[in-house]
Structure 1
Amino acid sequence: MSEANVAEFEEVEKVLTQYIVVRIGSEKYGIDIGYVDNIVRMQKITKVPMAQDYFAGIINLRGEIVPVMSIRKKMGLSEDVFTGKSRIIILKVEERGNLGIIVDEVREVITLSEDDIEKVSNGGSSHGTPKQSFINGIGKNGEELISLFEINDIISEKENSNSN
C-alpha cells in the first residue's frame, strides 16, 4: 500500500519554475528567475565603441563593470524609450559573468508548472523573426499568455542561432 501512495505522490509532484514577467513594447515575456541576479533602475550607460549595435554599453554596478544589452534591438524591435518603469535586469550567466538587459517594465513574479508551458520549436532555422528565435515556450498564467525567453539564445554573440 505504501508503494501505491509513493507512486501517486510522484505523479502529483510537478516541476515548478518561477519567472519574472517583463514588458517589452506591448508584449509580456518571462525570464527564468534562476538566471536573474538583480534588477536595477535605469542609470547612465556608457557607450562602447565598435560594439554590436544591440549592446547599449556598460554600467558600473557596485564597482563591477557590467555589459548592458538592448533586448529590443536584439529582437529587431524599435529603439529603447526609457521611462520611470524601465529597468536593467542583471542576468548571471556561468560562462560569461553578469550581463544586463534593458526591459520596459518589470511586472510580477509568477510560478508555472510544466503543464502550464507549451514548448515551441524553432528547429534551429534562421527564418522567421529574430524575436521568435529567442522564445522556447509559451506560459499560460490564468487567461494570460507569456512568451518565455531562452536566455542562452538571447545572450549568444551570434545573430542567428543555428544550434539543434
Structure 2
Amino acid sequence: MENEIISGLDSYLSFRLGNEKFVVNIGYVKQILEMTTITKVPHMPDYYKGVINLFGDVLPVIDSRVKFNLEEKPYGKSTCIIVLMISNQDVTAKFGLIVDEVRAVLQIADEQIKEPPEIGGKFKNELIHSIANVDGEFIIILNVDDIFSTDEITLVNPNQP
C-alpha cells in the first residue's frame, strides 16, 4: 500500500507534535476528529490510550507523543485525532492518532523529498519514510505502515485476521 500511495499522491496532511512538524500521505487519512472522551482499556501499552465510538465501530486510539518517545503533555483545545488506515503485511486496521494540532494539506513534489538520514536521533528511523523540504523547512514524512508492527496491530485490533 505504501509505495502505491506515496508515488501516486503528492498531497500530505500536516500536523504538529510540540515544535516538530510531520506529514502523512493523504491516502492513509480517513477523517479528522475533535478530541473526545476515550474509554481506557486495561493492560495495554502506554501509548494505547483506549477506544472511542466511531459511528458504532470501536476505534483504538494511540497517543503519538508517547509512541514517538516525545514528552507527554495535557491535551489542549487544538488536540485532535487523525483516523488512519494502516496496512502491515496481511493486516489492515484503522487507528486514531492523537496529535497536538492538524495544520493543513500540503502539496509536496517528488523533488522536495529526500531520504531520511542514516544517523540515530530523536525518532526511530523506521517511522520516517522521508524528509520534505517545504519553503526551507524540514518536515518528517511518516512511514505510516510501519508505525505499528503486525503484533501491535493485532493487540489493539483483536478482530483483525
Match of 2:82 in 1: 89
**Residue 15 (structure 1) shift:** 5.9
Q: Is the 8 A contact 1:137 1:149 kept in 2?
A: yes
Three-state SS of the structure 1 residue aligned to 2:43 is: coil
**Residue 144 (structure 1) shift:** 2.1
Aligned counterparts, 1:17-32, within 5 A: 17-32=10-25
65-74 vs 142-151, which deviates more?
Answer: 142-151
Cα distance between partner residues in 2 of 1:47 and 1:83: 19
Match of 1:150 in 2: 143
Distance 1:34 1:129, change over 3 A: same
Aligned counterparts, 1:10-159, within 5 A: 16-94=9-87, 95-120=91-116, 122=118, 128-156=121-149
- Greater C-alpha Rg: 1
Which of structure 1's runs of 4+ aligned residues deviate more than 6 A?
A: none
**Residue 109 (structure 1) shift:** 0.6
Cα distance between partner residues in 2 of 1:158 and 1:26: 31
Q: Is the 8 A contact 1:15 1:113 kept in 2?
A: no
Unaligned runs of 5+ in 1: 1-13, 160-164
Q: Is the 8 A contact 2:9 2:27 kept in 1?
A: no
For 1:18-61, what per-residue CA distance to the aligned partner results, in whole angstroms no more than 9, with x for missing partners? Answer: 11110001110011110000000000011110111110110101
Aligned length: 143
Distance 1:102 1:80, change over 3 A: farther
**Residue 62 (structure 1) shift:** 1.0
Cα distance between partner residues in 2 of 1:44 and 1:91: 19
Three-state SS of the structure 2 residue aligned to 1:73 is: helix
Unaligned runs of 5+ in 2: 1-6, 153-161
